[in-house]
Amino acid sequence: MPAWIESLVVAIAAFGVVFGTVVIIHELGHFWVARWLGVKIRAFSIGFGPVAVERTDKRGVKWRLSALPLGGYVMFATAQTPDNDTLYGPKGLYEEQSPLRRIAIASAGPLANILLSIGLLAILAMTAGEQRISPLPIVGYVAPESAADRAGLAEGDKILAIDGTPISAFDELRAIVAARPNEEVAFQVARAQGEESEFRIRIDAAEDPNAPGKVLGRLGVAPRSETYRVGPFTALLKGAQGAFLQFAATAEYLGRLLTGKAGIDGLAGPIGIAKISGDVARAGAQDSATLADGVIGVTVRLTELAAFLSIAVAFMNLLPLPMLDGGAILFYVAEMARGRPLNEQLRAGLERVSLVALLILAAIVTWGDIGRTFGS
């Protein structure tokens, strides 16, 4: 199979899993809260446009898979769609709900995305864990052709002492080595196999990148990284922290974008998300010794991507634009403040302007995606 076809298949499959999960959870948020509040639901669709597959359940809800898998929607019963709505009566119509109930329904989609992100990040914290640099003076990596490599140090070796001075932390090792370029030093080492050995190593000299002209000692080793996993409660806290930081970073980027301090290169549409999904999936599979390792690597990377994409979708939908959940919430808040709904003509006009603006933005972002994906 040609490489470009393989890349395309991987990108489409990864995009379907990641984006599909985020969209389904978002729409289910609207769906379940509306059902809980007694609102009649006519259709639940993944995708827009012509219906490709449809099944009607015993409650009369049409479950659809539509031709353009770029989002989804929940269709509620309104006065304009009266068929079969007598099952619920007027109280089941969406517009008959109080503004507070409609705010709850509109907020449920973004909230579901936020909860999804927290849940996914918590699962990763409990299972995959996070990599941390060990503070112990244990060799995690030996640079080829370095002083350590020439002397025979290996991954897993623990430095016990340098010239008789006990070492308990990698930072101590780093500081002593840096101060002794071109000197021969005695290292007392506990080998990975268990025995202790002494190595006499002449430390290499290298220029300090932060201070031109200054020479530092260089051994050529890096500390070991360790995987830390946590329990459910700590995992939830870490998930919430990660989701909050991503939400704040998205808001900060939008602020820089609106003030001209950032370009639209940081935005991605469906094509860009598909490419990122494919790249992430391939990165997760790289350097995997076994098929099982590859599956785990891909799963972890795509789960991370889904968590961050879910926050992006929540943030976007909370923007106060009439075609988005945030715009609907703004209308309902105004209705509560005024004691009556906004003028229908005014609302329709704002929705048309919002739709045009979103379509223009989508076209610009898609053009950028095409350029970045196929331009090289």
Would you name the residues annotated as active-site residues? 27
What the block records as the tokens of 18 is 């990641």
Give 172's Cβ-side CA count (13 Å radius).
Answer: 15
What the block records as the tokens of 119 is 């849940």
How is 48-115 classified by DSSP, letter by letter?
A: EEEEEEEEE-TT--EEEEEEEEEEEEEEEP-TT--TTGGGT-GGGSGGGS-HHHHHHHHHHHHHHHHH
Give how far Cα 226 sits from Cα of 131, 136, 262, 289, 355, Å. Answer: 6, 11, 36, 19, 49
Strand-pair partners of 73 = 45
DSSP assigned state of 203: P
First to last CA, the chain: 21
CA dihedral sign, ordered 229, 296, 132, 157: positive
Give how far Cα 24 sits from Cα of 131, 157, 168, Å. Answer: 31, 49, 51
User: Is 3 in a helix, a strand, or coil?
Assistant: helix
Task: Let me know: does 331 contact 322? Beta carbons within 8 Å.
Answer: yes
Element (H, E) at 215: strand 215-218
Residue 145 main-chain phi, psi, to 5 deg: 65, 15
